[in-house]
Structure 1
Amino acid sequence: MPPASSPDLFGERLSAATARICDAVTAVSASNPVVIIDGRSGAGKSSLAARVARAWPLHTPVQLLALDSVYPGWGGLERGAEIAREQVLRPHGRGLIGIWRRWDWERQEEAEAHAVDPALGLIVEGCGALTPASAALADVAVWVDGPRDSRRRRALERDGDGFCRHWDMWAAQEEAHMTRNEPHKLASITVATP
């Protein structure tokens, strides 16, 4: 008889979600599908995106853009999502090369530029990524969420004290995004992590 609860329920949920997303990507029947993964901090977006990138079901490689690389500072959730939409997702949808600049968190300024090939698939992950405007550019839209205490523990284990003092401000931006855009309603796949 199997145990009542698994010691790695988080990993199991991400594995199941990865399989669902890969099936959805295959069903798109395109060489350059776009997957957008949104969710609250610590819910598992980055881990899920990395798993999907490793398991990418197409023969061509996939590009991964984490909004953590784009947000212009701790107050930049909405602006980071706009940058991804206007400079990466829209050009990709038009068959044009997209360009984004990495945010240097230490210097608090833009750093080097990165190109996104429109011929290849694309995963964009980060809080704020899924809006009505970006959903129109996505082939697969994913919402990831979990209990606040679990999310906070995972986020602080990952980012440490640097994130701890910004948690409340960031959570307020997440709430504003959820109220304004209702990303959970735009998602074709919803993932609940423990």
Structure 2
Amino acid sequence: MATASPSDLAAQVLATAFARPPTLGDGRLVCIDGLAGSGKTTLARGLAALAPEAVVLGTDEMLEGWRGLPGLGASVEALLRPLAAGRPGRWRRWDWYADAWAETRTVDPGPLLVLEGVGSAAAAYDELVTLLVWVEADRDVRLARWLERDGEGMRPHWDAWLADEEALHAREGTRDRADLVVRT
């Protein structure tokens, strides 16, 4: 279990990913999965700062609203399969304000794709993942971060989200498949 500083951890993740052979066509895929409010986005930002050539996507934008977690894996897989074949991948963005699907975005093949978010590392495309990082923190820490980020008005979504998150990770065995477990 890793306990390094955020910048050291990002450097470690990046070095580990690039020490491994490509798994996403000629590129590499790092999935930062784990519990809501655990620090996945912070780690992804650290990777982006160290690797400007990386494409970093937050899978929150690929969810069909608050109850969209069960369908996320299929959306991510649809993005990844063309990239694995050396072609551009596409994904559709969820507009949280409009509560509807928005535009389709394209990702070109590249040296590093970082997916961060709850459910970003589905078992269905495990062979495409170069490095799976699981991030976790105590529930009270996560709730405080969630409320700071999203505000008290989003609290009603917390319980339903946690139930969906728990079911997804139990079904997928995500933590057990992780190459690196980080506790923040």
Does the alignment reach a TM-score above 0.5?
yes
Match of 2:11 in 1: 19
CA contact (8 A) 2:29 2:131 kept: yes
Which deviates more from structure 2 when the two are superposed, residues 67-76 or residues 21-30? 21-30
Partner of 2:133: 142
5+ residue gaps, structure 1, are 1-10
Choose from 89, 92, 102 the match for 2:83: 92
8 A contact 2:21–2:130 mirrored in 1:
no
Equivalences for residues 18-57 of structure 1 within 5 A = 18-28=10-20, 30=22, 32-56=27-51
For the aligned residues, what is the CA RMSD?
Answer: 1.7
Q: Distance in 1 between matches of 2:62 and 2:111?
A: 20
| Aligned residue number for residue 173 of structure 2 | 182
- Which portions of structure 1, spanning 4 or more consecutive aligned residues, are displaced by more than 6 angstroms? none
Residue among 143, 154, 158 paired with 1:167: 158
- SS in structure 2 opposite 1:74? coil
User: What amino acid is the match of 2:57?
Assistant: L
2:92, 2:105 within 8 Å by CA — same for their partners in 1?
Answer: yes
Give the superposition deviation at 1:102: 1.0
Name the CA distance, whole Å, in 1 between partners of 2:9 and 2:89. 28
Report if aligned partners of 1:13, 1:192 keep a CA contact under 8 Å in 2.
no
Cα distance per residue 1:28-82 (max 9 Å; x no partner): 25462110110110000111111111112xxx71111111111110000121232
Count of paired positions:
179
> Counterpart of 2:57?
65
Instruction: State the percentage of identical aligned residues.
Output: 37
Structure 2 residue matching 1:112: 3-state secondary structure: strand
TM-score, normalised with respect to structure 1: 0.86
SS in 1 for 2:128: coil
1:25 positional shift: 2.0
1:68-124 Cα distance to aligned partner (Å, 9 max, x none): 1111100001212320122x1222111111111110111111111211111342011
Q: What's the offset of the Cα at 1:162?
A: 4.0
